[in-house]
Amino acid sequence: MITKQYFGTLEDGRDVYNYTMRNEAGMTVRICDFGGTIMEVRVPDKFGRMSDVVQGYDSIRDYVLDTAYIGALIGRVGNRIEKGKFRLEGKQYQIYCNNNGNSLHGGKVGYSHRIWSVKPVDGEEPKLILNLVSPDGEEGFPGTLNITVTYALLKSNALSIHYHATTDQKTVVNLTNHAYFNLGGCSSGKIFDHVLQMDADAYLPTDETLIPTGEIRSVTGTPFDFREPKTVGYDFDLSDYDLNLAGGYDHCFCFTGGETKDPTLRIEVYEPNSGRLMQVYTNQPCVQFYSGNFLNNPEHPLKGGYPQNPQAAFCLETQKMPDAINHPNFTDTVLQPGETYDYTTVYQFSVR
């Protein structure tokens, strides 16, 4: 079942709506057309009690002013581009710099702050088909990009996100979603007790502005080794250079063997108090694991007036490597005319 609800009006007079999908098992997912944002994901705990496990805001104003990209679709290039510069076909491009002298999550006005068209498709597994056309030159990127993102609520209590994009000129693309999860419930406190396991054998060290240095480093012997389950807080306070630079985890993890043809189980997160388990399937080669280190804006409280607090939620942004266009040894983010950008990430919820 899908219901549509008015959410607010932007300063330019455009109305904003959200869409709530429900399956027969009782799971609900709410998506906003502003930013294609995941506003709510309600799933049961081990006692059958339903809770919202993603962060969000109560008003459209907070989403408009948000700088944490909470729940939003990210593009044209998610993550960072050093100094907003890259070369393509012998031409230099300059993207707006909005983060420590670098370009982050699409520039000044990324897809996180655009209104997407939404086509609801009801049924046993309801879905929302979102579309956005990003014109040639928008934010400095070459080529007109036609993007379709399909959110599907599966009967198995999973949220599937399918990304599809085509271009009329050679361009760069790295789409993702920036949902902030807390499996104990969105207002349940820190996420240090969440048990995380990732099939990632390498990570990308960064400089002080969180731009990758170009090295692809093995996780062996580092706090970035989650190949065996451990709590997020287990190594959090170690005196590790990369960890300390970011104030926690905010790094690209490289999945073992790289990109796959079909979505593959790569990540498991378990919250022991609620018993909730989230499994992440994707065919992307990497994930940015972010431990919510900059959730600290007192002017924009979260849902229910809950204050922002660092490490009160985590992100698992499946994607290709950040700043890849400037590193020949990184994953390829170039999209050619005639090619299709085609990736799927599934967040599967259950209890243990």
Respond yes or no: is residue 317 known to be catalytic: yes
Instruction: Give the CATH number, domain containing residue 253.
Output: 2.70.98.10
Is the peptide bond prior to 76 cis by the omega test (within 30 degrees of 0)? yes
Tally of structural domains, the chain:
1
What is the C-alpha separation between 62 and 72, in angstroms, rounded? 13
Q: What is the pLDDT of residues 203-238, one digit of tens each?
A: 999 999 999 999 999 999 999 999 999 999 999 999
Quote the pLDDT of residue 215.
98
Catalytic-labelled residue, pool 105, 113, 178, 194: 178
Q: What is the pLDDT of residues 163-180, one digit of tens each?
A: 999 999 999 999 999 999
Q: What is the pLDDT of residues 62-93, one digit of tens each?
A: 999 999 999 999 999 999 999 999 999 999 99
For the chain, residues with pLDDT lower than 50 are none
Question: Which among 46, 41, 6 has a CA at the least distance from the CA of 23?
Answer: 41
Quote the pLDDT of residue 124.
94
Catalytic-labelled residue, pool 113, 138, 317, 327: 317
Quote the pLDDT of residue 142.
98
Respond yes or no: is residue 178 known to be catalytic: yes
| Domain interval for residue 337 | 2-351
pTM over 0.85: yes
Kindly provide the b/e burial profile for residues 278-301, where b requires at least 16 CB atoms within 10 angstroms of the residue's own CB. bbbbbbbbbbbbbbbeebeeeebe
Quote the pLDDT of residue 191.
98
Long-range contacts, stretch 91-94, CB < 8 angstroms, 24+ apart: 91/142, 93/140, 93/141, 93/142, 94/140
